[in-house]
Amino acid sequence: MTSEKTVKNILKASSVIILLIFGGMAFSMIKGAIPAFREFGVFGFLFSSDWNPTEGKEAYGALPFIAGTIITSLLALVICFPLAFSTSLFISEYYRKTKVAAVLSTLVDLLAGVPSIVYGLWGFYTIRPLIAELGYAGQGYGIFTSGLILAIMIIPYATSISNEIISMVPNELKEAAYSLGATRLEVIMNVIIPGARSGLVAGYILALGRALGETMAVTMLIGNANIIPTGLFSLGNTMASVIANQFGEADGLKLSSLIAIGLLLFAVTAVVNAIGKIIIRKFA
């Protein structure tokens, strides 16, 4: 009884520590962002495309970085979905419980653990020159290049989640469909996808949350231009990349503006991940 109470107290203390860390991060970022919000207004800051660090004429707006973040993340999700879903079906349905599936599943998990800087370097020295040779985006930098690398980064993550969700569909339902003469494709379309739909959606929402906050790989490939992207091969910046590029030399109002962008990214990522986890919990 005593040991159970001790474990309960330890778990409670851990939860309190996590809440304090979360609260401390939120409080410090809100405090740091207040000067920018006071100077430009919340909506003025969010919907302005100005980014002028000139002393005496300082003007900062987050719209270019919000647009860059949304476009690159959604592009990554669009590229990721068919590849991740197909791979998860291959592992969890077509070659389930075989050596091929075991090896491929292990490789997927390994790729999910590769640091983002490695993906960034690979993209810089391999994907970027290839896109440049094809005649797109000048030297190969831009929204498309960074979105493509983001997609490659989140495919293993989305595939791993999809594997777990698909494996949760009861075998009895699939066997019943086969016994009635259904083909493999009909079972997938009429049993597996409807049964796993909400969980799959949640998995891709979580993958989107990871793409939203990616920093180093995007910073190396997006071109780091403080403009609203005009196309897939346009240069741009994301909320994470502008912070990584300019935080070290920032002070005063510019520093406050970068902290405000970080606060916005923090809030958006938290909301996206919370939505995904709520859907997964409901599915389970």
pLDDT for 94-117, tens place per residue? 777 788 888 888 888 888 888 888
Contact of 258 with 181, CB cutoff 8 Å:
no
pLDDT digits (tens, 9 = 90+) for 63-98: 999 999 999 999 999 999 889 888 888 888 877 778
Q: What is the pLDDT of residue 75?
A: 92
Domain ranges of the chain: 2-52, 63-283
Residue 259 predicted with pLDDT over 60: yes
% of the chain surpassing 70 pLDDT: 97
The CATH class of 63-283 is mainly alpha
pLDDT of residue 157: 87
The pLDDT assigned to 146 comes to 92
1 pLDDT higher than 60: no
CA distances from 52 to 66, 67, 96, 227, 257 (A): 17, 18, 56, 11, 11
Split at pLDDT 50, 70, 90, the class of 2 is: low
Residue 118 Cα to chain centre, angstroms: 17
Q: How confident is the model at residue 149 (pLDDT cuts 50, 70, 90)?
A: very high
CA–chain centroid gap for 57, Å, is 35
Of 9 and 151, the one with more pLDDT: 151
3 state SS of 60: strand
pLDDT at residue 284, as a whole number: 56
In 2-142, which ranges are continuous DSSP H helix? 2-40, 42-46, 63-89, 99-112, 116-122, 128-133
Average pLDDT of 6-33? 86
